[in-house]
Chain A
Amino acid sequence: MTRPARRLAVALTFVLASALLAAGCGTAAPQTPQQSGPAAPPAPSLDTALVNAAGTWAVTVMGGSAARHNNFWQLFIRPPGSTHWRLVTPPGTADNGGLILASSPQSLISAFRPSQYLTFTPLTESRNGGQAWSALSPVTAALAAAPDALAMDPASGRLLALLASGTAVQAAPGYRSWITLIRQRALAATPPGRHCALQALTALSFTASGMPLVGGACARPGIAGIFASVRGTWQATGPAVPAALVRLNITVLRLTRTPDQSVALLQAGRGAAASLLAAWSAGSGGHWTLSSPLPLHGAALTSASFGPSGSAAIMMTGNRGETVAGAGSRWIALPALPAGTATLASGPGGAMSALAVHGATLTVWQTSPGGASWTKAQTLTVPIQYGSSG
């Protein structure tokens, strides 16, 4: 072999050996490249509970299958005065994409988030505690994966829907025609949107006086992005956060209303420094009362639900649960949550239910105010139709 040929052979040997070693020895899974730009805001799951005149409603995913399309969302109700939950999942539509609820005192509307090849959002309504359901005209796009992506104004019956595209749409009763309320980009371009440096829309609601409320995540620290449409003009109506949190980004995690007030759950900061705040506002949402910040200590919020009179219950990773009774109350830690708890639901007299899911079985655990442990109250087996959607 000539000298250049030998040199070439040595170089080729090195390249080949390096490539083979790199290919053969690398057993770690390829890492997802770090996203540049802002991280996605935190978001609670669709597992939640709410209360209206028909009772306490809870929605959770069941099935326990590794194939996501084989897990179906189930709706349960506990009528007023009863201690037992009943399965009232609306029939006739696959709900493996998730159920999102909106309520008024008289009715509950459930939206089926689309899954697999479905791209629009069927709606159904019950006015008798889930005993019968009537299909409503669908939303012709996919709803965002947020528990407050659907909201109803009890007085007018108007619906607001937050689409996966980041657009808020509204419809009058009959719901045949959906018109754009505001797009995320358009809201971000308004003076209050620019002030908050709006990143994303996360929740929708109405004020007690029937004004649409839009919650979002702000990139500017210390701003709680809650906006109200007042006579066609968008105004910032979020609370001022305590001085200790003004350097943190605020995300509106949940936004709902009770008969006489709006309730919001806010997260300040991310990771180990994150805290939760509950906020209550009567009337048009101009003045808010804030709870004390609840440090998350590195945990992440997994589910949040609302009870009567503006109470809230939250679940975090690490089997932690906390409740807050309403404006002016403090956070109270719950006993360590039972394994498999998917969501919490407020009960009469401040009692709390933990709905735990194992496959197709729902176990309801109960604790009284100030209780130190959970008591098993009920077990329900749901006839999941595995394989029916895929």
Chain B
Amino acid sequence: MPGMNTGLNATDPAVIAAFKAVLLHQGLIALLIFGTLGLAWVSVRAWLPAAGKGTGTEARAPGPAVAEPAWRLLLRTGFGILWLLDGILQAQPQMAIGLPSQVIQPTAASSPSWVQHVVNWAGTSWSYHPLQAGAAAVWIQAGIGIWMLAAVRGPLSRLAGLASAAWGLVVWVFGESFGGIFAPGLTWLFGAPGAVLLYVVAGALIALPERSWRSPRIGRLTLAGTGLFLIVMAVLQAWPGRGFWQGTAHGQPGTLAGMTQAMAPTPQPHFLSGWVSAFTGFDEVHGFAVNLFAVAALAVIGAVFLSGQPRLIRPAVIAFTVLCLADWVLIEDIGVFGGLGTDPNSMIPMALLATAGYLALARAPAPAAEPARAAEPRVNLAGRLRAAAMPRSVAAASIRSVVSAWAIGVIILGAAPMAAAQASPVADPILAEAVGGSSAPANYPAPTFSLTDQHGRNVTLASLQGKVILLTFLDDTCTVDCPLEAQELRLAGQLLGAQAHDVELVAINANPVNYQLGYIRAFDQQERLTSIPNWLYLTGSPAQLRRIWAGYGVTAQIEPAGSMIGHDEVAFLIDQNGHVRQELNFNPGPGTAATKSSFAAELAAAARQLLEHA
């Protein structure tokens, strides 16, 4: 999946610093939104005290009031906290660069190619705008978490559930590669069917209308679905030939022991690593027994859940919760360890879902502590948002509603810059800075040249005076970097728009062997540069070229044994008076798919700055 890999180190200091700055900046805006909303609420309440009195409840369904049932409270607060935690985990400094290459790509690696194709699209989009994407994930997830925690009932609360389901689906498909359900080696023990799919289910349950709270049907369906899933997982776990029955095979750890063995050495508290190692050792010796226990436990608990018998379900839920916790610690390694953790994995959500199912089945919702205000006419959400009704609605809103509104603002705060960035085909210039370092400002006369362009005309530095020059050195038979660099120059010209008339895109040949015009022209044709009016590809005799390379401090050497020419990859920004004003490292780096257009953005910005200060 080449599109995802920027080739950059996830701990690149330039990107980390920029990511922290974006988070800090957006965090301050989030606080500002909170302050503004709070101030507006307090002010309106003071201005319309009557509206504020005796309110504080949210829109309710008609009919007798019911308190939020225990199962919903558990799902809402449990998954709200999980989303909040996931948002915090997304703020890890390495996440901006590391998520596509260290999380998404390895997860998708064992899935079929169509899954990889789908996932690659999203991973590539992230790679082009890592700062905005990273920050968006933080704010969207934190926002959903806060929203779910704050909105107890009413449309806002149901919308929070829908938001959880929708975003969960996005994460499940693109972040978890459909939870790995299409990959071989699928097992409940390691997180099938993907933790976030459980967030989706929980979100959908939270989004159900209040009238459904009274029926135990939700509990029956939730437990039956969970039970069915566990039975299928038990069959998969028992399926021969998948390596779960063997603790070791041919001197190597079996499937389960191999998985946990890989987790143990990752950075984590020592005691936890010790537990995982101990379990690995135990499984290596008693692989058959461990798998037999897992298969039996999944099958029995699944069957009990399917039976719908509350008397049996209670101990089954307790047993299931214990099993989930054991798996979470000993096999899933708490989920967040072992690389860039994005969530605590599937066991906590699984236990929450089963427990909620049990609560829905066993406990009828209690009557509301506060009676419904039947005397007041019911106003729907659209009515509350009408301009005339707004001040009254704001004054009547509870603190929970204000926090919910703020959470929605936080989500928009993260999503909007990401959406705007996606509209741009150009990658974030931070990638270019991370690959090539910051550009060096300069102010010295550019070394002169007199060479032949692709049309056979003589071109000198003096003949280009009055224009800004973006100059670089390209090997005309280079197979990797130079074609990319040519495209970066081409794109820089496009980004300049009408200003491109005042800019010359100039490349000087960096190949002392293939210096003939035929090669320059073949390169131009290959890179679709023949119709670019301000493109000049210059060449000359090897002696002429060497003199110019030396003038610009560029080395180009013939490598042995069939390699291409090794040369410096640097670009010079020359002002209208023939002075070098900036030197940029132009090496597109090892990962070129996402970085190539970031250089173009950097070059265009530098040229624009010179044009505007002329």
Contact = CB atoms under 8 A, between A and B. Distances in A.
B519 interface: yes
Contacts of B417: none
B370 interface: no
Interface string B562-587: 11111000000000000000000000
Interface stretch (A117-125, A159-167, A223-231, A293-301): A117-125
A119 B526 CA distance: 6
A13 B228 contact: yes
Interface stretch (B20-28, B404-412, B444-452, B553-561): B553-561
Contact of A138 (B182, B522, B561): B522
A135 B478 contact: no
A23 B518 CA distance: 54
A27 B236 CA distance: 13
B483 interface: yes
Interface residues of A, number: 50
Interface stretch (A93-101, A189-197, A282-290, A334-342): A93-101
Contact of A390 (B113, B187, B480): B480
Contacts of B192: 24
19 contacts: A13-B228, A20-B181, A20-B236, A21-B232, A24-B187, A24-B236, A24-B239, A25-B241, A27-B184, A30-B112, A62-B561, A89-B562, A95-B562, A117-B478, A118-B478, A120-B523, A138-B522, A140-B522, A389-B563
A24 B184 contact: yes
B232 A16 contact: yes
A20 B525 CA distance: 51
Contacts of A115: 479
Contact of A91 (B522, B525, B558): B558
A332 interface: no
A91 B112 CA distance: 42
B519 A138 contact: yes
Interface of A: 9, 13, 16-17, 20-21, 23-27, 30, 62, 69, 72-74, 87, 89, 91-97, 99, 112, 114-120, 122, 124, 133, 135, 137-138, 140, 176, 382-385, 388-390
Of all A-B residue pairs in the complex, the 5 with the closest CB atoms, nearest first, are A92-B513, A72-B562, A137-B518, A94-B564, A117-B483
Nearest to A119: B526
A92 B516 contact: no
B479 A17 contact: no
Contacts of A25: 184, 236, 239, 241-242
B282 to A, nearest CB: 25
A25 B236 CA distance: 7
B235 A17 contact: yes
Given A93-B562, A117-B480, 8 more contacts: A24-B192, A25-B184, A73-B562, A92-B514, A112-B477, A117-B478, A118-B478, A388-B564
Interface of B: 112-113, 181-187, 192, 224, 228, 232, 235-236, 239, 241-242, 477-480, 483-484, 511-516, 518-519, 522-523, 525-526, 558-566
Interface centre among B519, B525, B561, B562 (most CB of A within 10 A): B562
Given A23-B182, A24-B239, A389 B479 contact: yes
B563 A72 contact: yes
Contacts of B224: 9
Which secondary structure dominates where chain B touches chain A? loop
Interface centre among B182, B235, B559, B563 (most CB of A within 10 A): B563
Contact of B479 (A13, A87, A94): A94
Which secondary structure dominates where chain A touches chain B? loop
A117 B484 contact: yes
A133 B185 CA distance: 55
A253 to B, nearest CB: 25
Contact of A16 (B228, B512, B565, B566): B228
B477 A17 contact: no
A26 B483 contact: no
A106 B76 CA distance: 85
Contacts of A95: 562
A115 B561 CA distance: 16
B480 A389 contact: yes
Given A16-B228, A112-B477, A140-B525, A94 B563 contact: yes
Given A17-B232, A138-B519, A389 B483 contact: no
Given A23-B181, A24-B184, A25-B236, A72 B477 contact: no
B232 A385 contact: no
A384 B483 CA distance: 23
Interface centre among B232, B480, B512, B561 (most CB of A within 10 A): B561
A92 B511 CA distance: 7
A272 to B, nearest CB: 33
A21 B522 CA distance: 54
